[in-house]
Amino acid sequence: MKYNIYLLAWGLITTLFTQAQPKNFENPRFISENKLEPHSTYYTFPSEAEALASDREQSPWIKFLNGDWKFYFSPDTAYVPAGFAEAGFAVDRWDDIDVPSCWEMRGYGTPIYTNSVYPFPVNPPFIERENPVGIYVKEFSIPEGWDNQEVILHFGGVSSAFNLWVNGQKAGYSQDSRLPAEFNITPFLHADNNRITVQVYRWSDGSYLEDQDHWRMSGIHREVFMMARPKVHLADFTVRTRFDDTYRNAWLQIRPVIENLNQTNLDGWTVEARLYDADRREVLEQPLTVPANSIYKERYPHRNTVYFGIMETLIENPRQWSAEHPYLYTLSLCLKNGSGEEVEAFASKIGFREVELQEGRLLVNGQEVKLKGVNRHDHSQLNGKTVSREEMRTDVLLMKRFNINAVRTSHYPNDPYFYDLCDEYGLYVIDEANIETHGVGGLLSNNTRWAYAFLDRVIRMVERDKNHPSIIFWSLGNESGCGPNHAAAAGWVKDFDPTRYVHYEGAQGNPEHPAYIKPGAQQQPQYMANPTDPNYVDVLSRMYPTPAQLEGLAVSPYIKRPIIACEYAHAMGNSLGNLKEYWDIIHRYPNLIGAFIWDWMDQGLRQTDENGREYWAYGGDFGDTPNDANFCINGIVAADQTPHPALWEVKKIFQDVSTTLRSKGQFNVNILNRYSHSDLSHLELHWKLLANGETVQSGTERIPPCLPGASMDISLGVRSYHPDPEREYILEVNYLLKSETLWAPKGYELAWDQMIVNTPSTVPTLVTEGNLTTEILDDGIRVSGRRFTATFQKSSGALISYLNNGTEMLKEPLLPNFWRVPTDNDLAAGNQLFRSMRVWKDAAGKTELISWKVTEKEGLTEIHGRYRLPVENSTLGLTYKISGNGSLQTEMTINKGKETPPLPSLGMQFAVADDFTEAAFYGKGPHESYWDRKEGARLGLYHIPVNDLSYLYVRPQENGNHSDVRWLQLQGKKGQLTVIGIFSFDFSVWSWSPENLEKATHINELETRDAYTVNIDYKQMGLGGDDSWSEKSTAHPKYRLSDDTYHFSFILDFLK
C-alpha cells in the first residue's frame, strides 16, 4: 500500500489539512451538481462524412484524457490537504496513476470482496468508517479549432462519488459508479493551459445502493474524454423500429433533441437523417429532413400522449436484427444551418428489431426465443473493475462460440462498448440498473428520501442505452427488496420506452391477490409464486429454483406472465451439475423463456507469492474485512478468460440442433432445429461411424432447409458394414459453420450428438495363463509369476507392492476409497448431507478383518477378504484374482447400512511414479466430466499428457474426473499401466496428494510430488450446484450413491 507518507507528514507538520467539509456524499437527495442530462451514446463530428468513418479517435472534436494523471491517496477524508483544488497547488511530488484504473489495483488501499454485508456499519446514509479519498490532477490544453465551442468533460465511471474542479473553480459533483457523468466546463477554461482536479470518495451514500456481490474498488475506472460541441447542436436522439403484422415492413421513427445555447435564430436550419445498410449503401431515396424549429420548438399537447416520431418513414423489407442474425444499419444525423452548411453530425448503428411477450412466450420479430444466458460482472484479473475493450470483445466472442445468446449486466450498466459488441455480434441483453441494497433489503425502496436516487439511476441507464437493439429488458436492479421507489422507476420506464419490458426479480408477491401469503409465514414458498408478482414487472423472475421448482412455476394456474430464472446453476468451483435437467424443462414449457447462469467469470485477482508462484486471490487475501472468501469464484470461465470444463457442458446443452437416431439399420436421423431465426442453411452436417473410438466411415450431408422449431428426418450415407461383436459402434454427427462469421471461422463446430449403434456382446475377462507361486506372510500374501511379484496386506486388503521385473510400480498401495476431496458445493454451509458423509472419509483405512481366504488354481490365485467398516452396519468385500501373466482383477462389494449416508465416492486409489507422463483412454473426454455433468464430453479415444488430465480450480478441490471410461493406459519409462473396466468406470490422475489437494486454499499451495495419485472409481456423487450455500447445493438424489449394495470390478495390468 502507498499512502504518500512524505506528503501526509508534510501536511500534518504544516497544518494544511482542511477543516470538516459539508458531507454532501452522505445526503441521498444530493446526488449531482452541474451534471448534464443523460443522453444516448454518440460521438460528435463536424461532418457526416467524418461521422460515417466511425472512428472517434480521429474526431477533431474529441480529446481523450486517458493515461497518466497525478495522484494523491488519503486513507480518510480527514487527511486531505487544504487547497488541493487550487489552480496553482503543487502536485509535482505526487504519484502517477493510470486512468482508467482502480486505485486498489495500483497499490493504494485495500480491495474488499463481500457479497451482501456492507463494508461499513449500516446507518444509511452515513459512512461510519474511514473513507479513503483519491485526488486526481490532469493538465491539458484546448485543441485548435475549439474556439466558440462548448466543451463537455465526460467521465465514463467513477466509484463512488466525486467532486470536480477546473482551474480551481468548482465545476460539479456526481455519484453512481457505473454511469457517465458529464459537465459543461466551458466557463472555467483558459485559452492556454488548464487543470482538472477530481476528488474521489471511496464511500458515499450512493454506496448503500451499490451492495453488489463483487469486489469493492474505487477510482476513475472508465475512460475520460472531452468533446467539443457547437453552440447549437444535437443533444440527443432516440430510435424506434416497429414492424407491421407480417414482420415484413417496418417503421423507422427518430426523435432528435436540439440544444440552442446562444438562442440562435433557427429559421432555415434543418436536421437530416440518412440510413445506410451494412455495405454503406443508402437505403432511403431521399434523406429524412425536418426543420430544426419543429424539434426545438415542439409544442406538447394538453391531453394526448406526445407522438414519438418527429422523423419517420416506412422501410420495406429491412434486414432484421436478432441474436442469430445481428444485422446493423447505420443511421446518420446531421444538423445544417440556414445556408445548408453542416454544423454537426454523428452516426449510430441501429437494428430493426421488435420484442413482444405473447401468451407467456418471448417473441423477437415474431419468433419464439429462449434466453440461454449468463450473468456478467465487469472484471479483469489485473485491473479489477476496469475492463479493456479487448477483454470485453473476448468475453463476447467466447459467449457466441459457446452457444450463449443472452447476458444480464449484473448488476449495473456496463461500459457502452459492451453493448456495441452485443449489437454487433448478436447477444440479447437484460440491462440492469446500478441498484442493490442487499444488506438492508427493501428498506431504501420504501423510503421516500431515496426515491430521487432510485429514479435517477434507472432513468440515466435507459437514456444512455435506449438505441441498442440488443437490449430487450430493462432491469430495475438486484436484491433490493420491493417498494414504491421501484414502482416509480418502472412506471417511468414503461411510459418512456413501450418497446421493451421491465424485469426485476425483487418484485415478488402481490398483497392484493387473495392467495397471497405474508412474508415470514411458515408456508411461505421460496422462489415460488406468491402467488404472482406486482403488475409493474412484465416477467416473473426467480433466483436459484431447482428444476422441480421451475416446473412448478411453469404449471402454476396463477402465473400468466413469462417466467425467467435470472440466476440459477451456481457455478462456484467444480459445479454446474444437472444443467440438462433444467433445459429439458425449459424447452418443455413455452412460458419458461430462459435462464441466466451465475456467473460468467471467476472474480479472481492474479497475484504472485514470495516464491514467484502465481495464484488467484479472493476475499480475505488482502486482509479485507468483512469478506466472503471465495464466494466470488463462480464463473464458467477463469479470470484469465480461459474456459472452465463446465463451459463445454454449457455449449452442448445450449446448442440449437439436436439429433436422434431413428433407424440403426438405415442410419436415419431426426434433426430438431431449435434456432429462432435460422433454417440450418448456415451449417454443414458431418458424420462419422466410430468403432471403439476409431473412425471406420465418415461423410458429409447437405441439410435441407428446416424452419425454426421444426424437425426433419434425413438418411446418412453410411455404407453397409459388418460390426465386430467385440467392439462398440457409435454414430457421431457434427454441425459446422459453412462460412466464416464475425465470431468464428469456417468449419467451427456449433453442435454435435453421439448415438450408440452397437454395444459389445461380451464383457472383458481376466486371461489366466502362466505359473504362479504364493508365499504366506504374517499379514498377507505374496504372489509371484515369471515377471512380477504382487504383495497383498491381509489386515487392510491393500495391494501394497507390485514388482515388474524387479521394478516397483506402486508409490502408494492400492486401497479402497469412499471419499472425494470436497468441492465448494460440498462445503456449502447448508449442505448437511455432505457433512453427514464425512463418516466415509477415513473408513477405508479403519477396516476390521472379518475373513480372509486364498484359493489357487492353474494360472490363477484368488484372494477373498471381508471387512467391517467403521460406519454403522456396513461391510466391504475385496477379491483379487491374479493371473500368471501378471494381470489382476479387482472386485469390490460394499454393503451399506440402511441408515448410513450416501457415499461421496466408490473406488480404489493408489499412486504410481511420476515418470508415467502420457495417458490414453477410451471414454468421455477430453476434458473432465461427472455423473451429472457429462453431456458436453464426447465418448472417444484420447491421448493426453498426464498433467493435462487434472484441472486447477482457484480453491483446489475435486477435479479431473473422466466418466464412462472403458479402458485407461498410463505410459511411463518403467512400464505401462492398463486399467480395463468390466463395465465403464471413472478415473482421475493428480500430481498432488489427496491430503494436499484438500488442505490447500490456493493453487500456489499445491505441491507437485514424485508420484501421481490415481483414482479408479465405480462412480462418485454428482457435483450439484442448484446453489452453493443451502441444502440445494448437493447433487440431486439420482446422482447420489445411496443404494444399499454396490459391486465394482476392473482389471489392472502392468507391462514393461
Catalytic positions: 479, 567
Query: What is the spatial distance between Cα 880 and Cα 862, in angstroms, rounded to a whole number?
Result: 6
Element (H, E) at 228: strand 224-229
DSSP 451: H
- Bridge partner residues of 35 (DSSP): 183
Element (H, E) at 668: strand 668-673
- Tell me the DSSP string of 764-814: --PPP-S--EEEEETTEEEEE-SSEEEEEETTT--EEEEEETTEE--SEEE
Give which of 725, 722, 680 is closest to 704, Cα–Cα.
680
Helix axes 645-654, 579-588, angle to 10 degrees: 20
Query: What is the spatial distance between Cα 441 and Cα 490, in angstroms, rounded to a whole number?
Result: 18
Query: What is the spatial distance between Cα 750 and Cα 733, in angstroms, rounded to a whole number?
Result: 11
| Total Cβ atoms within 10 A of residue 438 | 19
Query: What is the spatial distance between Cα 720 and Cα 87, in angstroms, rounded to a whole number?
Result: 87
Give which of 989, 987, 992 is closest to 1002, Cα–Cα.
992
> What CA–CA distances, in Å, run from 468 to 238, 348, 418?
10, 10, 11
Query: What is the spatial distance between Cα 690 and Cα 916, in angstroms, rounded to a whole number?
Result: 28
Q: Name the percent of the chain in helix, strand, coil, to the closest 5.
A: 15, 40, 45
Element (H, E) at 400: helix 389-401
Helix axes 484-496, 451-465, angle to 10 degrees: 30
Element (H, E) at 908: strand 905-913
Element (H, E) at 691: strand 683-691
> What CA–CA distances, in Å, run from 152 to 2, 180, 237, 833?
33, 12, 18, 59
For 354, the 3-state DSSP assignment is coil
| Total Cβ atoms within 10 A of residue 851 | 9
Query: What is the spatial distance between Cα 825 and Cα 1025, in angstroms, rounded to a whole number?
Result: 6
> What CA–CA distances, in Å, run from 642 to 265, 639, 831, 934, 1023?
58, 7, 29, 19, 21
Give which of 229, 221, 99, 87 is closest to 152, Cα–Cα.
229
Q: Is the CB of residue 384 less than 8 Å from the CB of residue 102? A: yes
Going through 65-160 in order, the beta strands assigned E by DSSP cover 67-74, 95-99, 112-114, 133-141, 150-155, 158-159
Kindly tell me the sign of the dihedral angle through the C-alpha atoms of 650, 653, 659, 664.
positive
Give which of 595, 536, 706, 526 is closest to 362, Cα–Cα.
595
- Compute CA 853 distance to the chain's CA centroid, rounded to the nearest angstrom: 55
Query: What is the spatial distance between Cα 917 and Cα 915, in angstroms, rounded to a whole number?
Result: 5
Query: What is the spatial distance between Cα 434 and Cα 209, in angstroms, rounded to a whole number?
Result: 7
Cell of residue 485, nine digits? 421507489
Cell 457415499 -> residue: 903
| Total Cβ atoms within 10 A of residue 484 | 14
